[in-house]
Amino acid sequence: MHALSALLARCNAERRSLAIVGGDTLRAMLLPPATESVLLSTASLARIVEHCAADLTVAVQAGVTVRALAQTLGAAKQFVPLDAPHADRATVGGTLAAGWLGPRRHRYGRPRDLVIGSVAVLADGTIAAAGGMVVKNVAGYDMSRLYAGSFGTLAVLAQINLKTLPLPQRQRAFLARLPEGTRERAAAALAALAAPPAAAFWIDGFQSAVDGDEGDDGRLVVLIDASDAALERSTLDLRSALGRAGVPETRIVDAGAREAFERTVDACVATLGERSITYRLPEGDVPPPRNAVAALELARAHALRGEAIVDVMNGDAFVRVSDLDARALGTKIEAFDDALHAREPHARVVAGEHPIRNDLAVFGAPPPAIAQMRALKARFDPHAILNRGRFVGGI
């Protein structure tokens, strides 16, 4: 931490820009670093500082991987629902900094909702703590949540303190092929369940990347987190609701439920090298998966292949558009990007290797409070050394 502070202070004095990297799993959510940037990896901040199992809290350094955290907590039958793609590489700091929104957030809260404290290093080397190791704390401004989602442009997160939750006793995944004309009814049935699933995805495409078989109307991957006592009832409710929605068969996966869930999360940001761009569409005014279906039609209209993973419980969608080769994608994607943003102003790029990505509306519509955000950036990092120019509105 002190080495990090010294490094930042030096770069600040020299006005040298730094590109901050955690597990490098969500890099496409940000613009690429300027070529003269110094790469700052949080990999050496890999210590679990303190797991207070009896308090249901944990303090970790930013570079701890999501998997390592899960393993430590799992040994005490606890977890933090970060649900980041590529958990083996994704870091806790990077997941928070990127404002990643896991599919179980409707149930357990957003990752930032579980943050109870942090230690951050500012551009000038100042080491600043906020919050602590208690689960309720209103002493001072909520700096930790301000840093979450800031992509390291205000400060480098060095340590994060989190609330942990008791691990569900059982996890069960369900896979279903959807007969024609059932996708909207199936999604509505899932959202209305008295025992809501922990996560539910409607998927069109992503053939081998996710489990199950595709039906005429796509497929479902559903995850239930339940106690021993509630598992069978949740299963029964789910199957009968889907049955009424016209989905006759669901396959149960018990061993490997978590893996099936994780493969789906990974697929949300999976690329086809330079042949694809993936957008995240926020929950819209229409019930899922209608917003994604409209985006898929738009892709077809632009002669692009479209695939979608819709997070039914939260309403947002990941839409991947691709073509046979990078050149073909490059000729069509800008027109698609314009058309998509005309419909979905808040659509954001979350994955894609094609260099043209940088010319797209990566962050969607500029936020109304962009002036306040720029002022914050200027006050925290006046020489813009932290991820210079990589975030929304040139921040």
Partner 1 sequence: MLQQRLIDALGADAVKTSPEDMSVYAFDAYSQGRNPSAVVLPADVRDVSAAVKIARECREPIVARGAGTGLCGGAVPIEGGVVIAFARMHRLLELDVRRRRARVQPGLINLDLSRAVAEMRLFYAPDPSSQKASTIGGNIATNAGGPHCLSYGTTVNHVLGLEIVDENGEVFTTSIDDAGYDLTAALVGSEGTLGIVTAAWVRLMRLPESVRVWVVAFGEIEAASEAVSAIVAAGIVPSALEMMDAVITAAVEEAFHAGYPTDAAAVLLIESAGLEDDMNAYEAAIKHIVEAHGAISWRSARTQAERDALWAGRKGAAGATGRISPNYYTQDVCVPRSKLPAALRAVEEAAGAHRLVVGNVFHAGDGNLHPLLMYDRRDARQVAAVIETGNAILQSAIDLGGTISGEHGIGYEKRDAMTRVYSTDDLATMARVRDVFDPQRVLNPEKIFPRGARCPEVKPPTLVQ
Question: 354 to 373, contacts with partner 1 by CB under 8 A?
Answer: 363-373
CB-wise, 202 or 380, nearer to partner 1? Answer: 380
What part of residues 47-76 is at the interface with partner 1 (CB under 8 A)?
52-57
Other beta carbons less than 10 A from residue 251's beta carbon: 12
Radius of gyration of the chain (CA): 21
Residue 326 or 361 with smaller CB distance to partner 1? 361
Nearer to partner 1, 77 or 343 (CB): 77
Query: Footprint of partner 1 on residues 158-187 (CB under 8 A)?
Result: 165-167
Q: Quickly tell me which residue has 């995944």 as its tokens.
A: 173
Q: Of the listed pieces 13-21, 61-69, 134-142, 249-257, which binds partner 1 according to CB under 8 A? A: 134-142
SS (H, E, C) 166-228: ECCCEEEEEEEECCCCCHHHHHHHHHCCCCCCCEEEEEECCCCCCCCCCECCEEEEEEEEECH
Q: Between residue 138 and residue 157, which ones bind partner 1 under the rule CB under 8 A?
A: 138-143, 145-146, 148-150, 154
Q: Which is nearer to partner 1, 248 or 393 (CB)?
A: 393
* Distance between CA atoms of residues 151 and 131, nearest Å: 20
- Scanning 36-44, 127-135, 254-262, 323-331 for contacts with partner 1 by CB under 8 A, the matching segment is 127-135
| Window 201-260: residues binding partner 1 (CB under 8 A) | 227-230, 233-234
Residues 93-122 binding partner 1 (CB under 8 A) are 99, 109-110, 112-113, 120, 122
Stretch that binds partner 1, among 83-91, 136-144, 267-275, 320-328 (CB under 8 A): 136-144
Site for partner 1 in 264-293 (CB under 8 A): 282-283, 287
Alpha-carbon gap, residue 314 to 97, rounded angstroms: 20
User: First vs last Cα of the chain: how many Å apart?
Assistant: 25
Cα–Cα nearest to 155, from 205, 96, 100, 200: 96
- Encoding tokens for residue 352? 């894609």
